[in-house]
């Protein structure tokens, strides 16, 4: 699982390289129009912890040691330690303005974390990878408020936490695991003003690969006064297309 924007479909710009020579870039799964980001994200394919399986070649051999890539003006674009053509002990990527774009740390042979920044230095994302898949992902708005937070169980099958937030910082929807044995969640939707919109339980349904409402659900108006209650059985056909609307 490469995540929502770490890997992108593009023909990447040619960049000046020191101590290394780029091989053919990979074909990621999402389009990025910005040439600077295309070049920065090109290095993800060499990182096995995020699922990258390409080998970087230096003068016909698999790159080994610290490799530094630079922009045409001499500023550092990428710096990382490679072993047999793959990134091993972490790396850093930079914007053309010199600002750190991301810093990846290897936590174990199958686990790593990355912090991603906006070009102005504000935090953009915090991500933890485990066995080539995302285990935790947090995104932030440009104003610094948390936008999104998802965290998986260690099996990577179902969520432990799944939150969305409005740009003003108020929660939009939350889903938190409260019973690991039955995989049942407390789920709440909110209005923009912070008042509850709906509240109830959800349950992981592996048969359909999603989450279904169960038990009593309470629906509120914008002033958080109860409008009605609804009741769902585990077998009811109440699965939403997505989790944004709990």
- Please report, rounded to a whole number, the percentage of residues in the chain having pLDDT higher than 90: 73
151 within 8 A of 139, measured Cβ to Cβ: no
Report pLDDT for 238: 60
Q: Please count the CA atoms within 13 angstroms of the CA of 58 that sit on its side-chain side.
A: 17
Report pLDDT for 7: 34
**Token pair recorded at residue 143:** 């104003």
Q: What are phi and psi of 118, to 5 degrees?
A: -75, 165
Report pLDDT for 36: 75
Q: List 148's β-bridge partners, or say none.
A: 139, 164
State pLDDT tens for residues 199-231: 999 999 998 889 999 999 999 999 999 999 999
Measured CA to CA, the distance from residue 31 to residue 188 in angstroms comes to 33
89 within 8 A of 35, measured Cβ to Cβ: no
Report pLDDT for 41: 86
State pLDDT tens for residues 143-157: 999 999 999 999 999
Q: Provide the whole-model pTM.
A: 0.80
41 within 8 A of 8, measured Cβ to Cβ: yes
Q: What are phi and psi of 125, to 5 degrees?
A: -150, 150
**Token pair recorded at residue 53:** 């399986």
Measured CA to CA, the distance from residue 173 to residue 157 in angstroms comes to 21
Q: CA Rg, the chain, in Å?
A: 22
**Burial class of residue 162 (count of CB atoms within 10 Å of its CB; 0-12, 13-18, 19+):** buried
Taking 50 as the pLDDT cut, the residues of the chain under it are: 1-33, 241-244
Report pLDDT for 231: 95
200 within 8 A of 185, measured Cβ to Cβ: no
**Token pair recorded at residue 75:** 């500023």
Measured CA to CA, the distance from residue 154 to residue 54 in angstroms comes to 26
Report pLDDT for 37: 80
């Amino acid at each position: 699982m490469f995540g929502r924007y770490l890997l992108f479909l593009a023909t990447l710009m040619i960049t000046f390289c020191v101590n290394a020579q780029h091989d053919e870039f990979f074909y990621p799964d999402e389009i990025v129009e910005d040439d600077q980001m295309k070049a920065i994200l090109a290095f993800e394919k060499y990182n096995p912890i995020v699922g990258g399986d390409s080998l970087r070649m230096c003068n016909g051999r698999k790159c080994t040691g610290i490799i530094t890539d630079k922009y045409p003006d001499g500023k550092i674009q990428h710096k990382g330690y490679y072993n047999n053509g793959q990134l091993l002990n972490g790396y850093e990527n930079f914007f053309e303005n010199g600002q750190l774009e991301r810093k990846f740390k290897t936590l174990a042979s199958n686990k790593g974390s990355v912090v991603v920044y906006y070009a102005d230095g504000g935090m953009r994302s915090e991500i933890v990878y485990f066995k080539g898949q995302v285990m935790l992902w947090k995104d932030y708005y440009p104003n610094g408020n948390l936008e999104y937070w998802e965290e998986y169980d260690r099996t990577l099958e179902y969520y432990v936490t799944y939150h969305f937030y409005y740009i003003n910082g108020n929660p939009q929807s939350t889903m938190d695991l409260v019973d690991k044995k039955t995989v049942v969640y407390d789920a709440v939707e909110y209005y923009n003003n912070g008042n509850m919109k709906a509240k109830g339980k959800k349950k992981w349904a592996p048969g359909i690969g999603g989450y279904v409402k169960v038990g009593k659900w309470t629906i509120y108006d914008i002033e958080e006064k109860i409008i009605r209650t609804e009741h769902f059985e585990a077998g009811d056909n109440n699965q939403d297309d997505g989790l944004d609307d709990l």
